[in-house]
């Protein structure tokens, strides 16, 4: 231990001249240590971010599971109706005059809800995604952000016009005389889901552009 020298802490916001105890020649300043309040504030902020990510991941899982159940149910119904139609051709024990319009509704719903499920799980095929692996980290996220932006524009247009079609249609089906809005409803519903997740994906890509070190925690 050296004698005659004092170690005086200097906070980040004060210079040596502003300190209540002025440094003398030979005195060694010590780097400021974060206060307990600063550490606890950072910890609370990190905990809030982790909690938000966990909530979003839980919502993703629940919504994805729901869409998968819907798609499996629709596919099973299509299989049963097609099988029944084949049987009725050989054993005509009932009329299948409703076959076309019900199958049309089920196929349409399966396609659009399936697309929404793939969108939620980020499992859709991306043409040109091979390019991102050769790009620097920030540029890669910027490139993906632009791809999500283009997708958002397309989905927004699709959502608007499908919603208008569903709300304004006055047609009815032939066999059951039900409104064709029921057939078209799958489009704005799935479009709305994809619109929300496009915005979410753009937000995550923007965060990754600003903070590349957080990309792994965001699942990117």
Residue scoring higher pLDDT (158 or 88): 158
The domain locations on the chain are: 34-214
Confidence of residue 55 (pLDDT cuts 50, 70, 90): confident
Q: In terms of C-beta distances under 8 Å and separation of at least 24 residues, what long-range contacts does 71-74 make, across chains too?
A: 71/110, 71/113, 71/114, 71/117, 74/106, 74/109, 74/110, 74/113
Q: Which helix (H) or strand (E) holds 147?
A: helix 137-168
Q: Which helix (H) or strand (E) holds 138?
A: helix 137-168
Q: What is the CA radius of gyration of the chain?
A: 30
Confidence of residue 157 (pLDDT cuts 50, 70, 90): very high
Q: Which helix (H) or strand (E) holds 65?
A: helix 36-90
Question: Tell me: the pLDDT tens digits for 57-113?
Answer: 888 889 999 999 999 999 999 999 999 988 888 888 877 778 888 888 899 999 999
Mean pLDDT of 176-205: 89
Mean pLDDT of 197-220: 77
pTM over 0.85: no
């Amino acid at each position: 231990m050296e004698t005659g020298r004092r170690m005086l802490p200097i906070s980040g916001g004060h210079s040596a001249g502003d300190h209540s105890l002025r440094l003398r020649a030979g005195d060694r300043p010590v780097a400021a240590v974060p206060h307990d309040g600063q550490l606890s504030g950072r910890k609370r902020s990190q905990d809030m971010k982790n909690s938000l990510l966990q909530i979003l991941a839980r919502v993703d899982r629940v919504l994805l599971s729901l869409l998968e159940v819907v798609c499996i149910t629709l596919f099973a119904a299509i299989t049963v109706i097609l099988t029944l139609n084949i049987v009725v051709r050989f054993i005509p024990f009932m009329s299948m005059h409703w076959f076309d319009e019900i199958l049309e509704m089920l196929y349409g719903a399966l396609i659009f809800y399936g697309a929404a499920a793939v969108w939620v799980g980020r499992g859709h095929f991306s043409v040109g995604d091979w390019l991102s692996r050769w790009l620097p980290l920030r540029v890669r996220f910027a490139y993906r952000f632009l791809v999500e932006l283009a997708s958002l524009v397309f989905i927004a247009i699709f959502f608007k016009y499908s919603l208008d079609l569903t709300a304004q249609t006055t047609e009815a089906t032939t066999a059951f005389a039900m409104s064709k809005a029921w057939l078209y409803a799958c489009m704005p519903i799935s479009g709305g889901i994809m619109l929300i997740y496009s915005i979410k994906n753009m937000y995550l890509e923007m965060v990754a552009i600003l903070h590349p070190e957080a990309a792994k925690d965001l699942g990117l």
